[in-house]
């Protein structure tokens, strides 16, 4: 942050580390916090104030058909589904989801009763 602020001519700005999450469920924050030592050593893990009534699951795969199958399985349940993929895989997954007839949203779009799947690039 210091370097970015210096480029903006705001080197004197105060930096506050946020340690409470209000929108992201506990399971997701806990998973992301495990990555902190590798991507941002020195940052304090965040605590979520929101409990997740659903579930959080990581299914590593490189086969698009397995990804589509998992999405179809999860969409049979209530709630929304977030599919997080490496940026390089987004075009292939876009095609695979469309071929399966699954509609999806991009980051920031609001889920609806008709579209509950969001495809999110990992970046």
State how far Cα 118 lies from the chain centre: 9
- Quote the pLDDT of residue 102: 96
Would you state the pLDDT for residue 76? 92
Q: What is the pLDDT of residues 50-105, one digit of tens each?
A: 776 666 777 788 789 999 999 999 999 888 888 988 899 999 999 999 999 999 99
Comparison of pLDDT for 50 and 107, the residue scoring more: 107
Overall average pLDDT of the 10-30 stretch: 84
- Quote the pLDDT of residue 48: 82
- Residue boundaries of the structural domains of the chain: 2-48, 64-121
The pLDDT value given to residue 55: 67
Share the mean pLDDT of the chain.
86
Distance (Å, whole) CA 39 – CA 64: 27
Q: Are 122 and 87 in contact (CB under 8 A)?
A: yes
> Full-prediction pTM beyond 0.75?
no
Query: Are the C-beta atoms of residues 83 and 72 closer than 8 Å to each other?
Result: no
Q: Report percent pLDDT > 90 for the chain.
A: 37
Which H helix or E strand runs over 121?
strand 117-121
């Amino acid at each position: 942050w210091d370097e970015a602020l210096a480029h903006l001519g705001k080197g004197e700005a105060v930096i506050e580390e946020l340690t409470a999450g209000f929108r992201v469920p506990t399971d997701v924050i806990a998973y992301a916090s495990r990555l902190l030592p590798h991507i941002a050593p020195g940052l304090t893990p965040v605590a979520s104030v929101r409990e997740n009534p659903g579930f959080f699951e990581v299914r590593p795969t490189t086969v698009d058909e397995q990804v589509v199958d998992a999405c179809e399985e999860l969409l049979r349940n209530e709630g929304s589904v977030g599919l997080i993929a490496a940026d390089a895989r987004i075009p292939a997954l876009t095609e695979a989801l469309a071929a399966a007839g699954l509609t999806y949203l991009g980051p920031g779009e609001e889920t609806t009763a008709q579209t509950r799947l969001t495809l999110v690039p990992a970046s």
